[in-house]
Amino acid sequence: MTESPITFLCQDRDLTIENLPKSARINLTMNQYFIYLVTIVAFLEVIGDILFKEWSIHSKNYLLILGILAYMAATLFWAFSLKYQSLSKAMVIFAVLTLIVGILVGVLFYKEDLSTLNIVGIALGLGSIVLLEI
């Protein structure tokens, strides 16, 4: 039996994170890891919302199924993100991120109106995240 090229290249090497060059390592704090995860959750939720909106317009069932799958994936990422942050703080950050991305999608792709009150609401939402991090 012949060795695969990967096996040949990896033999006699201790492949651990500590042995990787510093440029190849990613050192994230728990808070940074949480922010990355919750950002993925927010985008997956908005993708699901877009798919649901398109389903409501075009009545294509595959759009509904894809939207459900996006929500399921978002739920998995959400569950993992809660390992790194308290629920109360996580909920605020998630809600604000989802609202901002959703509003941007609505304005940019569906030509929805953005009022001054909406802009003030977005600013207050961002302010709430800043206050939570102090």
- What secondary structure letter does DSSP report for 12? T
Q: Where are the domains of the chain?
A: 33-133
The number of CA neighbours under 13 Å toward the Cβ of 81 is 24
| C-alpha span between 51 and 18 (Å, rounded) | 42
Of 18 and 122, more confident: 122
Q: Where would I find the H helices in 1-134?
A: 5-10, 30-58, 61-81, 87-109, 116-133
The average pLDDT across 18-30 equals 64
Instruction: Determine the length of the chain.
Output: 134
Digit-coded pLDDT (tens) for 75-117: 999 999 999 888 988 898 898 889 888 888 989 988 989 889 9
> Do 46 and 98 contact (CB within 8 A), yes or no?
yes
pLDDT at residue 20, rounded to an integer? 56
